Chains A and B, each alone.
Chain A
């Protein structure tokens, strides 16, 4: 798959991704310079939850569906079903999480995207290894 060099190509690739993976949620496409993506932090696989008025209630630099679901259940229950007479206040938290990686599955997706994706990712891995070794 070639990189995004025109907005039309970006749109076409978004359609392809939608159709190949069967995404049913609304997909909003950013402009070619990634204005919204860069404003929201520029990471590749983020999830943000924005409550009424755009208030940020959750931000994660990796998407974990189970975490998102658990958070929403807890957050909405607390926000909507406040026990009468009980006071509650908000507080904030920042946490570190871990994720499992599946190298085999990842490699399959790279292959689907083309030989250059495989080759360039392998080169990037060498850079990460060299960097980690100092």
Chain B
């Protein structure tokens, strides 16, 4: 997937391209329950620090919610 289709400019075109079906499959095929998920470094909005997901799942579970809006 290229930058333009991930950061789509028009929602209706995104849907017309079948993006939803692709996402449903990607969700199913990503990390499975019981497996270890992959760690990533991300930018924390409030202080601009680079943090790793594993900083959050070290001692207790991490609840990770993804958000998006049209």
Contact = CB atoms under 8 A, between A and B. Distances in A.
A38 B44 contact: no
Interface in A5-60: 5, 11, 14-15, 17-18, 25-30, 32-59
B33 A40 contact: no
A79 to B, nearest CB: 9
A14 B45 contact: yes
Given A32-B3, A127-B16, A43 B65 contact: no
Nearest to B42: A28
A123 B11 CA distance: 9
Given A32-B7, A113-B70, A56 B36 contact: yes
B39 to A, nearest CB: 6
Contacts of B62: 49-50
A127 B7 CA distance: 20
A27 B46 contact: yes
Interface of B: 1, 3, 6-12, 14-16, 22-24, 26-40, 42-46, 51, 53-54, 56-70
23 contacts: A3-B7, A5-B7, A27-B44, A27-B45, A28-B42, A28-B45, A36-B53, A39-B38, A39-B40, A40-B64, A41-B26, A41-B30, A43-B24, A47-B63, A48-B37, A50-B56, A52-B59, A61-B24, A72-B61, A72-B63, A121-B12, A123-B12, A124-B12
Interface of A: 3-5, 11, 14-15, 17-18, 25-30, 32-59, 61, 63, 68, 72, 75-76, 90, 92, 94, 109-110, 113, 116-117, 120-121, 123-124, 127-128
